[in-house]
Amino acid sequence: QFLDVVVADLRRRGLDPQVGDGVVTAVTGAGGARQWGLANLAQRCNQEDPSQWEGIVATHFTALQQMVGRDMDALAADFEQVRPILRVRLMPDETMGGVAMDETVSRRPASGMIASLVYDFPDSTATVHRDHLEGWPVDNEEAFDIAIANVRAEPPPASETIDADGVQLGVMAGDSFYVASRALFLDELLGGARDGVFAVPNRHVLIWYPLVDLSVVKAMSPMFQIATNLFREGPGSISDQLYWWRGGEFVHLPHTTSGKNINFVPPDDFVQLLNGLGEPRAR
């Protein structure tokens, strides 16, 4: 039913859509073709009643077509114009179903995710091409600093603590594409703790727990489950894994699931840290 709505929408636009594995390729009248991924759109529709799908799909492809009409090279030529719309967006890497970002200005803070420099438009985002950065009066590091500062300057999404198996997890959620990006300055949410454990299951959610005592061991089990579920639901899935915020560095805390069983294989330095922690304190 979802694919029928997608195909019908693209045909109304004068395109010839061909559905593939997780993508749709639309052939234009001039003989050209554009390919779009369907995962995020499918996740978005899955959260709504089917009666709403036609409108959701139409809005999605209208935004994509408007992006095609933008002259990104001309926009990027004026750095002062793009400076306020720069953001850093966390995205999935190839291990999490993402695509290669070789021509973009990106970093890999940890396995499972990519931190990409993007232009933030009212209706969409677009990645920054390496050629654009080369023409700017700032280097890679300075561009990322500006983009992170712009994320930090946005009104913060709603945050709360939720009880999960007797521990209080910090959760931030909102409509912004950059909620997960706030993991880049997670220290501001850890209440003075130097380290923490966090998850960024999709672009709209950030989950964390300060790493100050052995209560973190109990906190990680529900974090595994929540991250896995929200990653599957999306939209904008990033990673189903947990990460250790180690004084500003992201360290992957790998796990796999088999049925209801969670197989956690932490790195040695994380185990050493746990061995040096005290018993849980009252919170």
| 69 pLDDT above the threshold of 60 | no
Inter-residue contact 208 to 191 (CB < 8 Å): no
d(CA 196, CA 186): 8
Q: What are phi and psi of 261, to 5 degrees?
A: -90, 140
| 43 pLDDT above the threshold of 70 | yes
d(CA 9, CA 31): 19
d(CA 14, CA 27): 9
**Using CA of residue 109, residue 239, residue 43, residue 47, what is the dihedral sign?**
negative
What per-residue confidence (pLDDT) applies to 10? Answer: 93
Average pLDDT score over residue span 8-35:
82
DSSP state of 95: G
Name the more confident of 279 and 141. Answer: 141
| 261 pLDDT above the threshold of 90 | no
Average pLDDT score over residue span 175-189:
96
Name the more confident of 203 and 22. Answer: 203
Residue 131 pLDDT class (50, 70, 90 cuts): very high
d(CA 53, CA 91): 25
What per-residue confidence (pLDDT) applies to 4? Answer: 95
Residue 68 pLDDT class (50, 70, 90 cuts): low
Out of 10-19, 194-203, 251-260, least confident range: 251-260
d(CA 133, CA 147): 13
Average pLDDT score over residue span 224-246:
94
> Average pLDDT of the chain?
90
Out of 42-46, 163-167, 257-261, least confident range: 257-261
Nearest 10 degrees: Cα torsion 124, 129, 131, 132: 30
Average pLDDT score over residue span 29-37:
72
| 23 pLDDT above the threshold of 90 | no
Q: Is the peptide bond before 235 cis (omega within 30 degrees of 0)?
A: yes
| 283 pLDDT above the threshold of 60 | no
| 110 pLDDT above the threshold of 90 | yes
What per-residue confidence (pLDDT) applies to 31? Answer: 59
| C-alpha closest to that of 17 among 55, 57, 50 | 57
What per-residue confidence (pLDDT) applies to 39? Answer: 86
Residue at token pair 């999490």: 96
What per-residue confidence (pLDDT) applies to 72? Answer: 78
Q: What percent of the chain stands above pLDDT 90?
A: 68
| 54 pLDDT above the threshold of 60 | yes
* pTM metric for this prediction: 0.84
| 133 pLDDT above the threshold of 90 | yes
| 32 pLDDT above the threshold of 70 | no
Inter-residue contact 243 to 110 (CB < 8 Å): yes
Residue 139 burial (CB count, 10 A): 11
Q: Measured between alpha carbons, how far is residue 20 from residues 61, 134, 235, 278 in Å?
A: 17, 35, 20, 53
| C-alpha closest to that of 34 among 45, 47, 25, 42 | 25
